[in-house]
Chain A
Amino acid sequence: AQSVTQLGSHVSVSEGALVLLRCNYSSSVPPYLFWYVQYPNQGLQLLLKYTSAATLVKGINGFEAEFKKSETSFHLTKPSAHMSDAAEYFCAVSSDSWGKLQFGAGTQVVVTP
């Protein structure tokens, strides 16, 4: 079985401040982990993924995430928030051979000037 918990359904950050979105997972086998972003009225876009290579993963738009097995976490960070980062972010885990994704409930990010 696999599941994902995203801490905080809404996060407000100031422009230029650190963005930190938390994700914890459970999986009975070594997982693949993903972060997706969703802008209003659009589909999901992949930000980055962990597939058992380097534990620090760099993605698009300046985002990165670190896989910590001991903490079962895959938190997403960006050093300096831009107004364009305002969106909803989803963490997802895949643990089965067919690539089925289990998504978290999402975190809405608001960026204030």
Chain B
Amino acid sequence: EAGVAQSPRYKIIEKRQSVAFWCNPISGHATLYWYQQILGQGPKLLIQFQNNGVVDDSQLPKDRFSAERLKGVDSTLKIQPAKLEDSAVYLCASSLVGSRFASGSSYEQYFGPGTRLTVT
């Protein structure tokens, strides 16, 4: 079974530029998550999709960040314009279902390798 794929793996941009990250979840997984991991901190959830719909985007800085999930499969996360404090690793994860009331491993989140963004 192929894992969660992300691209690019590394990106360096100047502040005020825009950048986009791509995520392809595990086939059949209904739920997709984007996390931001700043150096020295744990991952922070930015947005959660259940199929095409947004379940939680309460911590997404909507003035500069946007995300979409095309046809309930792939997803892109965009930053425009980037700030220095956006330097982080952006992790994508997917799970079979998003509810904690799901049984067994269907609730487990699988993570991609991440995209390391450096804003200069």
Contact = CB atoms under 8 A, between A and B. Distances in A.
Interface of A: 4, 9, 32, 36, 41-46, 49, 51, 90, 92, 94, 96-101, 103-106
Contact of A43 (B31, B41, B56, B114): B114
Interface stretch (B11-19, B43-51, B78-86): B43-51
A43 B4 contact: yes
B100 A101 contact: no
Interface residues of B, number: 28
A98 B91 contact: no
A46 B109 CA distance: 8
Contact of B45 (A32, A42, A51, A100): A100
A53 to B, nearest CB: 10
B100 A98 contact: yes
Contacts of B40: 9, 105-106
A99 B42 contact: no
A103 B107 CA distance: 16
A20 to B, nearest CB: 19
Contacts of B98: 98-99
A51 to B, nearest CB: 7
B94 to A, nearest CB: 11
Contact of A49 (B50, B101, B108, B114): B108
Contact of B100 (A32, A43, A45): A32
A103 B4 contact: no
Given A44-B43, A49-B108, A99 B31 contact: yes
